[in-house]
Chains A and B, each alone.
Chain A
Amino acid sequence: MRLNKKEQYLLGFASLLLGFLFIILLKANGVAGSQVTPQEAVARLIQTEQENQQLSIGNEKIKQELVKYDQGQSAWDLANEQLKEAQMNAGLIGLTGPGVQITQDDSKRAANAQEDSACFIVHEKDIRGILNALWNGGAEAIVVNGQRVTTNTEVFCSGLYIQINGTQQKPPYVIEAIGDTNILSGALKFYGWDKLGDLEQQLGITRKPPEVLSNIVIPAGKLRDYHSAKPTTEGT
């Protein structure tokens, strides 16, 4: 195809314009597609707002305490009241109430040659997952095989057994939690209970459905000595 001069110019100009427009179009689309900053600001905002809320609650608590001092309430009574509360929070008091019970046991079926025997046992991760779901469901106290779950409780896999609070635990693992039984059951369902159900069907890991009990007794935990941490004198 041979073109005369005029046509060549025309075609050349058209191509240039085309390229130019393409670039602008691409740039414009790029701009439209990159608006992440507001989302980040939202996350920061939620964080600050929630911290503010927590702080206001904390401040309110201190104010109430100050009022009690002003009213001349016995200092000894007040301190003891707080001590009781702190012991309760720290899990050093045995508790009783309605709750749920979850039992998990290793599979009774032996793994065949093609199967990984690690899939047939209950792992520490499964237990931790259940604990996490229960706390998220507002559990007030949790115990695993008689071991109260406190701030310092580890659920650590040591090969042949699972270490909880420094003790050796073997299956079956019985987890009991006190709290609102409806919310606890809901939280369990939401976070992974059904996934565990699949495992059970495939591999025979024993997993009883969560039992709702009207009265669970959870023993007190043990207080650990702290050597490194000291209370700060100021700030939160």
Chain B
Amino acid sequence: MHKTLALPVTVVAIALGFLISIQAQTQKNVSAAEQISADRMTQMKSVLANSLAQNATLQKDHSSLLEQLDTARKKVGTDPQLLAELAQLQMVEGTQAVEGPGIQISIDDRDKKVLYPLSTDDLATMINTLKFAGAEAISINGQRIVSSTAIVLSGSSTIFVNQVPINRADGIPYELSVIGDQDTLFDYFSKLEAPNLKQDNKTVSIARKTLRIPSYKGMYTFKNAVPVIVP
């Protein structure tokens, strides 16, 4: 009887010894990793807080500068009609923030049943449909869509719009704000785009709202193109 027991006990003892040593090793690694990650997180948070504070200051500067500009223009007596025309054009090219009636679209693709997370192609298709529906201004997660907006993927999941990553860490992953004729926008989007998204278990909600859409913060550059001289 004692002979038959010798083997299992030996095996158990070896396994035990093995596990204890792995355990000790892992515990050490984990605490080291936790330490590093906590350190990084604190650093990251302070850098982020810095950056956010800077952002707030810049925003404040921006609005006060706009005010100054407005008064300066009034003082020199710039033709109001010319300014109105300018504002109209800047609304079209996107450097002017706009407000008006439209729809807000929220898309959530975090559900486990979603096979394909929202892709750059999906976004491009949605924007195209909205333009087809006569949208006057569009933004995705705060990035204004203008003529030269490119939507590209970087790495495996980071989506860049206007060269800015738009992925969100928390909250609804994608929010599109669209200004235009509410009924047309709602109709076109709910019939042409929403069904495809819902089919893949993505959550889509469309709300009629009065919206504010921020301006395009990028730059238009013309280094190669020169205006055609009209005789």
Instruction: Give chain A's interface residues, CB within 8 Å of chain B.
Output: 1-3, 7, 10-11, 14-15, 17-18, 21-22, 24-25, 28-29, 31-32, 35, 37-38, 40-52, 54-59, 62-63, 65-66, 69-70, 75-76, 78-80, 82-83, 86-99, 124-125, 128, 132-133, 135-136, 138-141, 149-156, 163, 178-180, 191, 217-218, 223-224, 226-232, 234-236
Contact = CB atoms under 8 A, between A and B. Distances in A.
B46 to A, nearest CB: 11
Interface in B93-143: 93-102, 121, 124-125, 128-129, 131-132, 135-137
Contacts of A229: 91, 98-100, 136-137, 179-180, 213
Contacts of B222: 88, 95, 140
12 contacts: A29-B26, A32-B33, A52-B55, A65-B69, A86-B95, A91-B93, A91-B147, A136-B150, A140-B224, A180-B223, A235-B97, A235-B214
A136 B224 CA distance: 16
A47 B165 contact: yes
Contacts of B181: 227-228
A83 B78 CA distance: 12
Given A14-B12, A46-B165, A228 B147 contact: no
Per CB-CB distance, the 4 closest pairs between chain A and chain B, nearest first, are: A54-B217, A40-B169, A136-B150, A94-B228
Contacts of A96: 225-228
Nearest to A221: B147
Among B54, B55, B169, B170, the most chain A Cβ lie within 10 Å of the Cβ of: B169
B188 to A, nearest CB: 10
Among B37, B92, B93, the most chain A Cβ lie within 10 Å of the Cβ of: B92
A31 B30 contact: yes
Contacts, number: 297
B62 to A, nearest CB: 5
B158 interface: yes
A79 B83 contact: yes
A25 B22 CA distance: 8
A80 B86 CA distance: 9
Interface string B75-86: 111110011011
A156 B128 contact: yes
Interface extent on B, as a size class?
35 or more
Contacts of B34: 31
Contact of B224 (A14, A93, A99): A99
B1 A52 contact: no
Given A25-B23, A59-B61, A79-B83, 14 more contacts: A25-B19, A28-B27, A31-B34, A82-B86, A89-B220, A96-B225, A97-B226, A99-B224, A125-B121, A151-B92, A180-B224, A217-B228, A228-B136, A232-B98
A45 B47 contact: yes
B145 interface: yes
The secondary structure that dominates the B interface is helix
A90 B195 CA distance: 33
Nearest to B77: A75
B227 A93 contact: yes
A43 B62 contact: no
Contacts of B225: 95-97, 140-141, 178-179, 218
Nearest to A31: B30
A57 B219 contact: yes
A135 B44 CA distance: 33
B40 interface: yes
B78 A76 contact: yes
Interface in B7-42: 8-9, 12-13, 15-16, 19-20, 22-23, 26-27, 29-30, 33-34, 37, 40-41
Interface string B38-62: 0011001101100110110011011
B207 interface: no
B164 interface: yes
B55 A48 contact: yes
B164 A69 contact: no
B211 to A, nearest CB: 9
Contacts of B136: 152, 226-229
